[in-house]
Amino acid sequence: MTELAGLSGILGAWYDFRDLNNLQRLITEWIADWGPDWLASIVTGLLGALGILGVIGPTLLVLIWVERKVIARFQQRYGPNRVGPKGLLQPVADAVKLILKEQLAPRAADKLIFFLPPVLIFIPGILIWGVLPFGPRMSVADLNVGVLFLLAVSGTAVLVIFMAGWSSNNKYALLGAMRAVAMSISYEVPMVLALLTLVVFSGTMSINGIVEWQQQEDVIFILLFPLTALVFFFAASAELNRTPADISEAESEIVAGYHTEYSGMRFGLFYAVELGNTLVVSGFIATFFLGGWWMWGLDEWVPSWIILLAKTGAVYFLLIWTRGTLPRLRVDQLMSLCWKALVPATLLFVVVAFVQRTLLISEGWDTTIALPIMAVINIGLSLGAIMLFARVARPADLRRPARIRMAGAEIGGLRAARSVAARSEEPQFQVGGD
């Protein structure tokens, strides 16, 4: 009996730890006992902000290590393994190096505008964390229009990027900035439409509300709207400037894009924000499509923020994976992919969401039966849409396979070339095509 009691004691403590709000409530109540109301709200707000800053700062340092290590494993290398145990201190060493480096600015740069972007880029990068729900009531600001806030804040980053590119007085930077603007504006459309699908279907614009809807209906959105999830994932990776859509800082074309001229910690700030954004976007993908802090009852026993972080980590790994695997699309291909494929696909699912929502609400269909059927229908629709796109929108260039023939005994110039090409036998190998 005593053993069981001990176990339940441990579990109970664990259970309390599940929701960090308990701690916060304690503090608020303690302040409310002796202080004015406004002090309590300020202190809790600061606590939340400090909590987020305190978490993401070290997390970023670890993430740099994780990303480099994972990419290194994809590439059959060891990755950083010299500074500290397993190379864990490498990011710290890098940060120290970046801080100590001289800050150069081009002589012809617009000094003020050149100085501002590394600082300004932090604002959306931090603000966006405010609406990420780590638990049932665990977000700094549980806005009832959280989705709008998210889109609005993330949209401002492009202005900062353009400031950086324009003020650098560098053609690579300018090209990168122009690409970034074109791409951000384009890719915001499928992103908004993808979120609109969720908003329509769950009937709430609160991010926590979307998670709670998934909890109530016992389903995660990726099953209901797989194509939307895919589009959101791709659009998000485009907004994050990660391969295959990293055209605004395409290393092989325009060196480093908009931050070509930034050196030292100014570059470091861009880099940190980019990593932080990657993390938070992974978090939002996990929240919107993978159920966020909820996981089929597991959240009763495991702290919800650990569940969210685990899911975020999984999405983050997926982002690293795509980055380590895929080449980059060209700027016009990215644009045509966005407008010709992603926007129609998400629009289709907005309509589907409307119809299915109406069936659920007005017709009063039983969700336990209707939702699985809808999931199957939507998965089928998604596959159909992808195949339709592959049929219709695929450039004619790519629909013919690329062939390699073996010359055999035919060695020579044009005449030999013609006779090799005219040979009817199967080419040695052939790739691509329909």
Q: How far is the CB of 241 from other proteins (least distance, A)?
A: 12
Output the CA angle 335-222-344, nearest 5 degrees: 30
The residue (of 111 and 171) whose beta carbon lies closer to other proteins is 171
Q: Could you give the C-alpha distances from 352 to 5, 30, 185, 285, in angstroms and in order? A: 52, 50, 25, 21
* CA distance linking residue 409 with residue 42, whole number of Å: 84
* 87-94 LR contacts (CB < 8 Å, sep 24+): 88/62, 90/64, 90/65, 91/60, 91/61, 91/62, 91/64, 91/65, 92/61, 94/64
Contact of 176 with 165, CB cutoff 8 Å: yes
Q: How far is the CB of 312 from other proteins (least distance, A)?
A: 21
Q: How far is the CB of 279 from other proteins (least distance, A)?
A: 18
Q: How far is the CB of 94 from other proteins (least distance, A)?
A: 18
The residue (of 33 and 434) whose beta carbon lies closer to other proteins is 434
* CA distance linking residue 49 with residue 55, whole number of Å: 10
Q: How far is the CB of 113 from other proteins (least distance, A)?
A: 20
Q: What is the token pair recorded at 252?
A: 């092989």
Q: How far is the CB of 321 from other proteins (least distance, A)?
A: 10
Report the interface residues with other proteins, using CB under 8 A.
Answer: 71, 74-77, 171-172, 174-175, 243-244, 246-247, 250-255, 323-333, 336, 395-398, 402-408, 410-417, 420-421, 428-429, 431-432
* Bridge partners, 93 (sequence order): none
Largest separation between any pair of C-alpha atoms in the chain: 97
The residue (of 242 and 311) whose beta carbon lies closer to other proteins is 242
Element (H, E) at 430: strand 429-431
Q: How far is the CB of 396 from other proteins (least distance, A)?
A: 5
The residue (of 74 and 296) whose beta carbon lies closer to other proteins is 74
- Residue 433: φ, ψ to 5°: 85, -175
The residue (of 25 and 171) whose beta carbon lies closer to other proteins is 171
The residue (of 79 and 87) whose beta carbon lies closer to other proteins is 79
Distance of CA 23 to the CA centre of its chain: 30
Q: How far is the CB of 329 from other proteins (least distance, A)?
A: 6
* CA distance linking residue 9 with residue 2, whole number of Å: 10
The residue (of 92 and 420) whose beta carbon lies closer to other proteins is 420
Q: How far is the CB of 90 from other proteins (least distance, A)?
A: 18
The residue (of 77 and 97) whose beta carbon lies closer to other proteins is 77
The residue (of 77 and 82) whose beta carbon lies closer to other proteins is 77
304-325 helix and 264-289 helix, angle to the nearest 10 degrees: 120
* Total residue length of the chain: 434
The residue (of 46 and 398) whose beta carbon lies closer to other proteins is 398
Burial of 62 (C-beta count, 10 Å sphere; 0-12/13-18/19+)? exposed
Contacts of 298 (CB under 8 A, 6+ apart): 307
Q: How far is the CB of 403 from other proteins (least distance, A)?
A: 5
Contacts of 4 (CB under 8 A, 6+ apart): none
User: Closest Cα partner for 280 from 383, 386, 142, 128?
Assistant: 128
